[in-house]
Amino acid sequence: MAALYPFRALRPTPAAAKDVAAVPYDVVTTDEAAALARGNPLSFLHVSRPEIDLPAGTDPHADAVYDKAVENFRRLQSTAPLHLEDAPSLYVYRLRMGKHEQTGIAGCFSLDEYARDVIRKHERTRRDKEDDRTRHMLAIAAQTGPVFLTFRSVTRIAHILESVTAAAPLFDFNAPDDVRHIVWKVPANQTRNLIDAMAAVPALYIADGHHRAASAARAREQLGSQKGHGEWDTFVGVAFPDDQVQILAYNRLVRDLRGSSPEALLSQLRERFAVAPGPPVPAQRGDVSMYLDGQWYTIGMGEAAAALAASERLDVNRLQELILTPMLGIGDIRSDKRIDFVGGARGTGFLEQAVSSGRAAVAFSLYPVNIDDLMSISDEGGIMPPKSTWFEPKLRDGLLSHVF
């Protein structure tokens, strides 16, 4: 079963929601966060990335950063203002980007089920990132960014969400990236229906937010050992049906050719693969688009061997094993400084510009992973290669915070 819990959300007033809502803390650099928050004292980035309000060059893990997060969170609660709901509630959260639309359930989810793998994972987390968000949660005594979850679509849940969204929303605004965010508060008579319907869902899958969930689990360990059971036994998330989520490619930039030349790399590739001029976006699985020396090429890697594990058959893994490691010397992509990762939302023009400007020597554009791959790999207990999926559109921080 998938347990679903109403919670007392700390939320902005409808009038302030657009100014408060901020991109997830981990999709922007410090400089990008500062630029987005500039001129907007209500931006939740002042809480999620508080180093933007400290002197340039401040270590983002310094004590002063977490102290600033507490100060900014308190200030925002009074100036936005942020309102703590009188009673626990569930919410419905809809994202609309162009023609794409997805509607999910916002509530709290069980950390016991996270530990038992009822809530399934597909990527490993980094200890340093967990340390940061755990400390941030404990400092401000809240989870302020929801985990993005998915589940296999259920007709009963779809009907309940359709009923809830027929009413007037609590929030409805277009973010600066032109993604529309619409949030409804679930009425009491539908809350029990949603809880019961979710209880029949056998598993949830973390789509985006592995570090948030892992950090919530670590925060629970500390708080539970001191205080016993409480709000920290759950984490805030939004669960979307699998047939609505959208995965874009997670592309690669390599900074240099390891002393080789574009001609030599092309020759090496042609010895093993079918390589021809092609489009910036691959047309099918098994193909990778490469931007090198001002031109796009299609590299046909062919079909993966059926004997490989599901995660090893993914194009992101095959690119790594067949090209990046043996031909370009990229080792552990979690730590290798010669490789960068670019979410598909930035477009292939971003890849071209990075190579043309000299910031990278070569770019690789991938065919997106699909949701069935993610769920089947998670069901098997497998781990996908790092930076395999880019979910778009993304939830916003600061709209529905879960306080301890």
Model confidence pLDDT, tens digit, residues 189-217? 999 999 999 999 999 999 999 999 999 99
Q: Is the pLDDT of residue 76 over 90?
A: yes
Q: Residue 393, preceding bond cis, omega within 30 degrees?
A: yes
Contact 2, 201 (CB under 8 A): yes
CA distances from 28 to 31, 125, 182, 283 (A): 8, 18, 23, 29
CA distances from 225 to 85, 108, 143, 221 (A): 27, 21, 19, 6
SS3 of residue 55 by DSSP: coil
Q: Tell me what percent of the residues of the chain surpass a pLDDT of 90.
A: 89
Q: Residue 81, preceding bond cis, omega within 30 degrees?
A: yes
Tell me the mean pLDDT in the region 239-261: 96
How far apart CA 398 and CA 134 sit, in angstroms, is 17
Q: At what angle do helices 210-227 and 127-140 cross, to 10 degrees?
A: 50
How far apart CA 347 and CA 218 sit, in angstroms, is 36
Degrees, nearest 5: CA angle 12-99-395? 30
Per-residue pLDDT at 334: 81
Per-residue pLDDT at 107: 98
| 2 pLDDT tier (thresholds 50, 70, 90) | very high
Q: Is the pLDDT of residue 228 over 90?
A: no
Per-residue pLDDT at 13: 96
pLDDT tens column, 357-382: 999 999 999 999 999 999 999 999 99
Q: Is the pLDDT of residue 331 over 90?
A: no
Backbone angles phi, psi at 295, to 5 degrees: -140, 145
Per-residue pLDDT at 148: 98
Q: Is the pLDDT of residue 348 over 90?
A: yes
How far apart CA 347 and CA 159 sit, in angstroms, is 35
SS3 of residue 371 by DSSP: helix
Element housing 143 (H / E): strand 142-143
Tell me the mean pLDDT in the region 57-68: 95
Q: Is the pLDDT of residue 283 over 90?
A: yes
pLDDT tens column, 111-131: 999 999 999 999 888 899 999
List, by residue range, all CATH 3.30.1760 domains of the chain: 250-367
Contact 361, 265 (CB under 8 A): no
pTM of the model: 0.92
Chain centroid to CA 165? 25
Q: Is the pLDDT of residue 397 over 90?
A: yes
DSSP label at 324?
I
The chain-wide mean pLDDT, for the chain, equals 95
Per-residue pLDDT at 179: 97
Q: Is the pLDDT of residue 386 over 90?
A: no
How far apart CA 154 and CA 150 sit, in angstroms, is 11
Per-residue pLDDT at 345: 87
Look at 103 and 226; give whichever has higher pLDDT: 103
Per-residue pLDDT at 309: 85
Tell me the mean pLDDT in the region 174-182: 96
How far apart CA 198 and CA 9 sit, in angstroms, is 20
pLDDT tens column, 133-174: 999 999 999 999 999 999 999 999 999 999 999 999 999 999
Torsion of CA 25, 26, 29, 32, to 10 degrees: -50
How far apart CA 71 and CA 63 sit, in angstroms, is 13
Any alpha helices (H) in 40-165, and if so which ranges? 45-48, 63-79, 111-115, 127-140, 155-164
CA-closest candidate to residue 317, choices 250, 247, 242, 246? 250
DSSP label at 22?
B
Chain centroid to CA 140? 22
Instruction: Identify the burial level of 144 via C-beta atoms within 10 angstroms of its C-beta, where 0-12 means exposed, 13-18 middle and 19 or more buried.
Output: buried
Q: Which residue's entry shows tokens 């929030």?
A: 171
Domain made up of 250-367: CATH architecture: 2-Layer Sandwich (3.30)
Q: Among 60-69, 183-192, 308-317, whose mean pLDDT is lowest?
A: 308-317
Q: Which residue's entry shows tokens 């029949």?
A: 200
3-state helix, strand, coil in the chain (%, to 5): 40, 25, 40
How far apart CA 165 and CA 92 sit, in angstroms, is 8
How far apart CA 272 and CA 282 sit, in angstroms, is 18
Look at 225 and 92; give whichever has higher pLDDT: 92
Amino acid at 254: V
Query: For residue 148, what are its two tokens?
Result: 């993005």
Residue 182 pairs in a beta bridge with 94, 172
Per-residue pLDDT at 321: 94
Work out the widest C-alpha separation in the chain, in whole angstroms: 67
Per-residue pLDDT at 307: 79
Q: Tell me what percent of the residues of the chain surpass a pLDDT of 70.
A: 100
